[in-house]
Amino acid sequence: MNTIIVYSSKYGCAADCATLLKSGLPGTVELVSINEINSNPLLLDNFDTVILGSSIYVGTISKKMRAFCIENVDVLSRKRVGIFLCCALPAQINEYLSKNFPAALLESAVVIKDFGGEARIDKLKGINKIIMKAALKDNFESLKISHEHLESFIKEISM
């Protein structure tokens, strides 16, 4: 299996999850931040499996990740695709997915998981800090990466 993990991470949680995925996947795995990639479909031709991962802030993934998915939806729909999100409010995961990813990509994905999240309050700034504090009401310790979901994702994408 030749895999690329393309991730978008603002404060580090999605990057940490992408690194954990890389260490658990068989075969050759390349890890690339969306900030290091231009939307060139030829890049994806070298991979059998594409994993897309992003954090969610105020209900949205990064503009670069969204643009990458839209611009490459045809190529991605022909690959084994896995999608993971890191978010503080997993009950809204379906809303986040439909709002941020093309329907064709969601329909063709082999696996889609929410990995939970971490409130790295010390790294948050501005409106993100205010929103996170209001949403969690000082329940920051309750947020954790779901290693169970991560391991399940690895099993499903590796089949």
142 pLDDT exceeds 60?
Answer: no
| Residue recorded with tokens 């990458």 | 68
Q: Which amino acid is at 159?
A: M
Break the chain down into helix, strand, coil percent, rounded to 5. Answer: 50, 20, 30
Q: Where are the domains of the chain?
A: 2-158
Helix extents (H) in the chain: 13-24, 41-44, 63-71, 73-77, 93-100, 103-108, 126-136, 147-158
**pLDDT higher for 149 or 140?**
149
The model's pLDDT over 17-75, given as tens digits with 9 standing for 90+, comes to 999 999 999 999 999 999 988 656 668 889 999 999 999 978 899 999 999 999 999 99
N-to-C CA span, the chain: 10
Per-chain mean pLDDT for the chain: 87
pTM of this structure: 0.85
Reduced to 3 states (helix: H, G, I; strand: E, B; else coil), residue 65 is helix
Cβ-based neighbours of 126, under 8 Å, separated by 6 or more: none
**What does DSSP say about strands 28-33 and 49-55: parallel, antiparallel, or unpaired?**
unpaired
For the domain made up of 2-158, give the CATH fold.
Rossmann fold (3.40.50)
User: What is the longest distance spanned by two Cα atoms in the chain?
Assistant: 45
The model's pLDDT over 121-139, given as tens digits with 9 standing for 90+, comes to 666 667 666 666 666 665 5
